[in-house]
Structure 1
Amino acid sequence: MKTKYITTLLLCLFSIMGTMAQNVKRQTDKHIVHQQERMVHKQWDRKKFTPTSGFLGLNPNYWLTWAWHPNYPKTDRRPLSGTGPQTLRMGMVLAMQQTDEAYKKHTDTIRKVAVTEALNYSGLVADADPLWLLYYRKEFGNLTGGTDTDPLAGLSPDVRDYLRNKGLLEWYSEERAELKERLEAARTTTLDRGSRIMAYHRLLGEHRKLLSAWEAKKNYAAKFLSLAKNRDRLRSDNPDHPEFSGNRSDVQIAENILKRTQ
């Protein structure tokens, strides 16, 4: 009986305590709430700094609280305020991003300029130059061909022997080799593209002069040999002719024969 009485008493006590725990009201401090709101997002409102000064500033709690921090209510201390540390940090981050983008654009521009200048000066890409491909490669085909053409091609054996014996073939070969060497140097040397094109222009003029001189020498050699043959034939046919008598030179004799044959 006594045990049942104690058990019933404990159960009643626990039920009362549970009921009291469920009816506990949450207590909040408005001063702390105001400070939290100010620091997080709301306006820094000086009117909500409590305790207030009261009538004629006679509230002792105000002086006990804010007399030690007189400038605190006047200074906006929100991290996200116009001059707050968080706002300044985000502004600095944005400024650093813009600076990084500016540096990146600058470095990209420098890289592009460097690549352009390297291609402009390098002799490794001279063969890909549009002006070389469209014009100069064809004009210098006699010098840049894989196989050297015979400069005596199409000539008679007598003319070939004459050009070899007189050293004209050796002269042409040396001049052509010199032009070929200079052209190769202009194509492979690190040089400004404008200077390279001007070098092509000068070498092309010299190359054309050399070809013209060589053609003239071949024509002169063929004409001279033809005159010499005519002279020898006339001399053999008319050994006593006055044209071949006297002390006249072969050149004078050839000139007279040429005048007659014209």
Structure 2
Amino acid sequence: MKKSSLIFLLLIAINGLARAQKKINDESIRYQQERMVFKQWDQNKFKPSPGFLGLNPLYWLTWAWHRDYHKHDLRPLSPLGPQTLRLALAAGLQNTEQAYKLQTDTLRNMALTQVTAYSGLVSDADPLWLLYYRHQFQPLLYQNDARLLDGLAQQEKDYVIRSKLLDWYLQESHALAERLNAARTTTLERGARIITYQRLLDEYRILQAGWEAKKQTARQFIELSESSDKLKKRHISLSASQVTRSDVQIATDILSHSKL
């Protein structure tokens, strides 16, 4: 019981001491906190003050060792304070960062524009290729060599193969297709690429016209050959009949002369 009573009395004493504490209201400390944090650096609020004719001993005991302290604004957020300078520097760096970002974005956009204009990796996305040249070159790009002679008669097919016309067209069309693929995949300025497309398209149209003309020529040649063969057969038959009549006439003449 004595131990518990002693602890109880000790707690009561501590509680009494806690209640006995008072809030310290020292103007010197309060003014120093205010001017160092947020309020204006007011020279009239440096406590203890000099007093009448500067005879206050507390003033000299406090500020004699820091004569120039009140002349310099030491607030972090003062016009020339470290925090103000840091914020100004941060704002300046942010503006510089924005300027660098704008410059890098400009360089990036220019690089993308140049890549789009020069690189063959994105040539298939060119508007002119998508809207015009892709459709014009589609028969060449997706050419089926096995069906080039479709629509021709068997005699015409034999003639085209025998006369090497098919080999000629295959060689020329494959060479054009290779040149077209090279123009699409090579790093080249967009204007030069478009000019190359147009030049190859003109050559392809000339090749197609020549191929169609040669197939028509093959058809006409076969028709002329057939007509010539018919004429030859008719001439041979007429010649044979004439020869036969002449022999009979000759024999008849010989017999008539022998009777006489």
Q: TM range, normalised to the smaller chain?
A: 0.5 to 0.7
Q: Establish whether residue 73 from structure 1 lines up as the match of residue 61 from structure 2.
A: no
Is 2:156–2:219's contact at 8 Å kept on the other side of the alignment? yes
* TM-score (normalizing by structure 2): 0.67
Percentage of pairs with the same residue: 53
Equivalent-residue separation in structure 1 for 2:44 and 2:214 (angstroms): 113
Q: Residue 43 of structure 2 corresponds to which residue in structure 1?
A: 46
Matching of residues 52-201 of structure 1 within 5 Å: 52-57=49-54, 62-63=59-60, 65-111=62-108, 113-115=110-112, 117-145=114-142, 147-148=144-145, 150-201=147-198
Which of 26, 31, 34 aligns to 1:29? It is 26
Is 2:145–2:170's contact at 8 Å kept on the other side of the alignment? no
The alpha carbon displacement at 1:44 in A equals 0.9
Equivalent-residue separation in structure 2 for 1:24 and 1:134 (angstroms): 90
Is 2:119–2:188's contact at 8 Å kept on the other side of the alignment? yes
The alpha carbon displacement at 1:212 in A equals 0.9
Aligned pair in 2 of structure 1 residues 24, 124: CA closer, same or farther (>3 Å)?
Answer: closer
Aligned pair in 2 of structure 1 residues 154, 229: CA closer, same or farther (>3 Å)?
Answer: same
Q: Residue 214 of structure 2 corresponds to which residue in structure 1?
A: 217
Is 1:140–1:204's contact at 8 Å kept on the other side of the alignment? yes
* TM-score (normalizing by structure 1): 0.66
The alpha carbon displacement at 1:79 in A equals 1.4
The alpha carbon displacement at 1:183 in A equals 1.7
Aligned pair in 2 of structure 1 residues 135, 28: CA closer, same or farther (>3 Å)?
Answer: closer
Is 1:119–1:125's contact at 8 Å kept on the other side of the alignment? yes
Equivalent-residue separation in structure 2 for 1:104 and 1:224 (angstroms): 73
Aligned pair in 2 of structure 1 residues 229, 74: CA closer, same or farther (>3 Å)?
Answer: same
RMSD between aligned residues: 3.6
Aligned pair in 2 of structure 1 residues 33, 150: CA closer, same or farther (>3 Å)?
Answer: closer
Q: Residue 4 of structure 1 corresponds to which residue in structure 2?
A: none
Structure 2 segments unaligned to the other structure (5+ residues): 1-11, 237-260
Equivalent-residue separation in structure 1 for 2:100 and 2:82 (angstroms): 26
Equivalent-residue separation in structure 1 for 2:176 and 2:22 (angstroms): 106
Once the two structures are superposed, residues 50-71 of structure 1 have per-residue CA deviations (whole angstroms, 9 ceiling, x without a partner) of 4444555555655554444332
Which of 207, 211, 226 aligns to 2:204? It is 207
Is 2:137–2:201's contact at 8 Å kept on the other side of the alignment? yes
